[in-house]
Amino acid sequence: MSSFVGRRKKLRDLIREANADALLVTNFTNVTYLTGFTGDDSYLLVTLDGETLITDPRYTTQLEEEYPGLALEIREPGVKMLTAVVKVLTAVRPARLGLEGNSATIAFERALAKEFPKTEIVATDGLVERLRLVKDKTEVDATRVACTQAKRAYDVVRASLTGSMTELEVAAELEYRARRFGATSLSFPAIVATGPRSALPHARPTNRKLGESDFTLIDWGVNSGLYMSDLTRIIVTGRISPKLRKIYEIVLKAQLAAIDAIRPGRTCEQVDSVARRIITKAGYGKAFGHGLGHGTGLEIHEAPRLAVGQETKLQPGMIVTVEPGIYVPGWGGVRIEDDVLVTRTGHEVLTDVPKQLEDCVLAS
């Protein structure tokens, strides 16, 4: 409970910096971050001295369980969100109201402006997201759980893999096992791609069998309830060809070097460049066509981004993926991914699934 109070307190400081009297939070994920309430179709009005959740009767009992004592405006069936927001704002009458620019629609902003002609309405840019960049202990602990659940699910599935299993069957097994270990769901639909299909960074599982190729790429993550993990590993189901060994070792070298470069004060672009230089020097620069990584949290893709042009400086409490890859059309792709916490003195790798090439060989 106290962590949510602390987050709203920090948000009020940002509202003051924006010279506003209140912020209407319309992004449902941001509402969850600020209150712990996991329902959708709800807005949160945060003023300099309080907050009101605008929701509907479906969530009354849920709110009593998740956040008792929160001031509520319950909009009855048939009452539009705009009408409920107007009612709450009428009681507050802020002189300057902030709206989440990346969430609220232009039509909604215009409707509010018509209802409150004396209120200056300004679009804000990522105030809550700025807070979400750095995870507190509660968030880090929840991410640790997600990483553990992902490992346990993978270990069980890996032990049962056979060449006759399809990509779709492996993906289904991962989700089933993750749920058995306490996960709410996978963080995203698992990517299971054999051989040439692994050259597609976001390949969708098919009925292709693992035994049809020498290796399979598996990208999965677990939602522990609110917070998410994200990993990628290669499974070798046939022989380790010279080309697979060469490309795998390049990607692994790039990943380990980039992880080693993570520490407070480094920019996201600097970390990306460490991996990119290694892959480029090896002659595969054009085959690494995406950023090195991204933040995780309440969403599987959050800020910050480890990528070219990203000048955000790493801070203790940030959690990022490190996932270099080399993709060769017609042959396949290799990506290795782990979740990394930025600490005060450097970093901590939160995921510990073995990743030396020999560890990836499926025992026959």
Q: What are 356's two structure tokens?
A: 């030396």
DSSP 3-state of 29: helix
> What are the φ/ψ torsions at residue 338 (nearest 5 degrees)?
-140, 160
Alpha-carbon distance 54 to 37, whole Å? 12
Q: What are 104's two structure tokens?
A: 């609220």
For position 364, what pLDDT does the model report?
Answer: 61
Do residues 101 and 109 touch, judged by C-beta distance below 8 A? no
Q: How many CB atoms lie within 10 A of CB 93?
A: 12
Q: What pLDDT, in 10s, does the model give residues 172-225?
A: 999 999 999 999 999 999 999 999 999 999 999 999 999 999 999 999 999 999
Do residues 146 and 183 touch, judged by C-beta distance below 8 A? yes
Alpha-carbon distance 291 to 275, whole Å? 10
Do residues 229 and 339 touch, judged by C-beta distance below 8 A? yes
Q: Which long-range contacts does 282-290 make (Cβ < 8 Å, 24+ apart)?
A: 282/250, 284/247, 284/250, 284/326, 287/326, 287/327, 287/328, 288/324, 288/325, 288/326, 288/327, 289/201, 289/327, 290/201, 290/325
Q: What is the CA radius of gyration of the chain?
A: 23
Q: For 290, how many CA atoms within 13 A lie in the half-sphere containing its CB?
A: 18
Domains along the sequence of the chain with CATH: 2-131 (3.40.350.10), 137-360 (3.90.230.10)
DSSP per-residue letters across 171-189: HHHHHHHHHHTT-SEESSP
Peptide bond into 201 cis (omega under 30): no
Q: How many CB atoms lie within 10 A of CB 1?
A: 11
Q: For 140, how many CA atoms within 13 A lie in the half-sphere containing its CB?
A: 16
For position 1, what pLDDT does the model report?
Answer: 53
| Residue numbers of the chain with a pLDDT score lower than 50 | none
Alpha carbon of residue 320 to chain centroid: 9
Beta bridge partners of 352: none
